[in-house]
């Protein structure tokens, strides 16, 4: 009878352990792991800028901060979300972590047999077993969930490259109006020659070469232009970066130059830097579609916006131009046709093509108008190596 009672107690103990473990075990969709909490916080902000509800917690067993976007109750749900996330280049290394993050850590799993467990019970002489009661052979296992799959090698983000800088390491951070980091590029611009010297990815370490001797006394002009926001310029003294607005040294002693962005307002004009055209053509290069879609999103997110689309061209006078055919293919020269015209007409048709694309993607025409500049407002000389900068589209906010 006592033996039977001990077996019942063991079953109750097993049930309690299983229930407790089940309550604490979760499946986290992890997109990054960081040794420094500050880096985990920044990466969470970056993920939120990509419309993921990211947060982070400590994995005390590995002493790393795990940034995750979903905490699921079932492994299947977590795996399904990982497969979706991995389609994004920035999150292709995401994985499922099984366990508990934060201060609440599950007790280590220990496997015990019945004999090992019974040896810890009081030594009681059992009565003779009842013949019609079968002996129950128990093997007690506290383990409910198997160990998670091997996690990928963890790389600490935002650490400078081990190589020695050829020039000097800088970090350029781009922040949206709420202070969250944005992914993008900044451009080192030579204002005298009207050209880009170099471009650098935001929120990572960039090896910036020492300026030439002729420009050493002048600060570097670093420009951040992300569509939908006002353009921001920072003048950075290479020898003394600390004089730049908001410049600070990070935990690794690297100068961080911030670019705090503001949303476009009435009267603001923004250049669509990534919208570019085939030579003397209305047809845009394929890469232009991404920024046009950003303009569609901007108009959808700001239903009170009314805009003027400014079309520009390189040079003045008459030209042979390539225009859209009967079937409008905005990003492929096939199906287009050629005609004689002027650069002003070319700039008008470019602006009209952008307007037509927006209308086809749900923006009502009464929120838009166009203006053709031809070549009367060129950024650089017509014969400059950077003359393509003159073939551009600008967006002016008329109402917000």
Query: What are the structural domain ranges in the chain?
Result: 1-157, 165-263, 265-400
User: What angle do helix axes 288-301 and 343-360 make, rounded to 10 degrees?
Assistant: 60
CATH T-level topology, domain 265-400: 60s Ribosomal Protein L30; Chain: A; (3.30.1330)
Across the chain, which distance is largest between two alpha carbons, in Å?
Answer: 113
The model scores a pTM over 0.75: no
The answer to whether 378 and 393 are in contact (CB under 8 A) is no
**Angle at CA of residue 271, ends 258 and 235, nearest 5°:** 30
pLDDT in tens, 4-58: 545 544 444 444 444 444 445 788 899 888 887 867 777 776 666 555 667 888 9
Percent of all residues in the chain with a pLDDT value above 70, rounded to a whole number: 74
Kind of pairing between the strands at 168-175 and 255-260:
parallel
CA distance 391 to 400: 27
> Taking all residues of the chain, what is their mean pLDDT, rounded to a whole number?
78
User: In terms of Cα–Cα distance, which of 230, 225, 223, 224 is closest to 268?
Assistant: 230
Give the rounded distance of the alpha carbon of 219 from its chain centre: 30
Q: For the chain, how many helices (H) and strands (E)?
A: 6, 19
Query: Hey, what CATH topology would domain 165-263 get?
Result: Immunoglobulin-like (2.60.40)
**For the segment 324-362, what is each residue's pLDDT rounded down to a tens digit?**
988 889 999 888 999 999 999 999 999 999 999 999 999
Task: Tell me whether the CATH fold assigned to 1-157 matches the one assigned to 165-263.
Answer: no
CATH superfamily of this structure's domain 1-157: Sporulation related repeat (3.30.70.1070)
Confidence check: pLDDT of 396 > 90: yes
pLDDT at 263: 87
Q: Report how far residue 343's alpha carbon sits from residue 348's, in angstroms, rounded to the nearest whole number.
A: 9
In Å, what is the CA distance from 158 to each residue of 91, 206, 298, 327, 363?
Answer: 15, 11, 30, 47, 39
Closest CA to 373 of 399, 388, 395, 351: 351
Beta strands 205-208 and 195-201, pairing class? unpaired
- Cα(186)–Cα(202) distance, integer angstroms: 7
Residue bearing tokens 């001990």? 6
Please, what is the Cα angle at 25 between 22 and 31, to 5 degrees? 155
């Amino acid at each position: 009878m006592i033996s039977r009672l001990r077996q019942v107690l063991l079953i109750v103990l097993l049930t309690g352990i299983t229930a407790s473990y089940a309550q604490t075990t979760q499946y986290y969709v992890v997109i990054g792991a960081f040794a420094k909490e500050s880096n985990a916080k920044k990466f969470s902000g970056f993920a939120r800028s990509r419309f993921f509800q990211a947060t982070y917690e400590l994995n005390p067993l590995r002493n790393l901060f795990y940034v995750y976007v979903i905490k699921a109750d079932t492994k299947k749900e977590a795996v399904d979300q990982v497969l979706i996330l991995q389609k994004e280049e920035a999150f292709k290394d995401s994985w499922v972590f099984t366990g508990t993050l934060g201060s609440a850590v599950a007790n280590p799993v220990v496997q015990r047999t019945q004999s090992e467990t019974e040896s810890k019970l009081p030594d009681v002489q059992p009565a003779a077993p009842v013949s019609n009661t079968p002996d129950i052979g128990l093997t007690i296992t506290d383990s409910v969930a198997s160990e998670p799959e091997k996690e990928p090698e963890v790389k600490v983000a935002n650490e400078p490259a081990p190589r020695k800088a050829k020039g000097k390491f800088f970090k350029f951070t781009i922040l949206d109006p709420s202070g969250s980091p944005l992914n993008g590029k900044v451009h080192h611009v030579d204002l005298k020659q009207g050209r880009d010297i170099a471009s650098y990815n935001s929120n990572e370490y960039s090896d910036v070469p020492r300026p030439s001797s002729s420009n050493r006394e002048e600060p570097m002009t670093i420009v951040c232009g992300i569509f939908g926001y006002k353009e921001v310029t920072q003048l950075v003294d290479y020898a003394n970066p600390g004089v730049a607005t908001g410049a600070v040294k990070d935990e690794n002693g690297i100068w961080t130059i911030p670019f705090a962005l503001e949303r476009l307002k009435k009267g603001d004009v923004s250049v669509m830097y990534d919208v570019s055209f085939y030579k003397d053509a209305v047809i845009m290069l394929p890469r232009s579609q991404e920024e046009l879609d950003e303009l569609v999103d901007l108009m959808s997110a700001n239903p009170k916006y009314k805009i003027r689309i400014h079309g520009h061209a390189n040079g003045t006078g008459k030209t042979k131009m390539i225009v859209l055919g009967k079937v409008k293919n905005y990003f492929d020269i096939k199906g287009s046709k050629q005609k004689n015209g002027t650069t002003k007409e070319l700039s008008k048709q470019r602006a009209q093509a952008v307007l037509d694309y927006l209308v086809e993607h749900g923006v009502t025409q009464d929120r838009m108008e166009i203006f053709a500049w031809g070549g009367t407002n060129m950024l650089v000389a017509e014969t400059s190596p950077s003359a393509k900068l003159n073939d551009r589209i600008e967006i002016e906010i008329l109402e917000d």
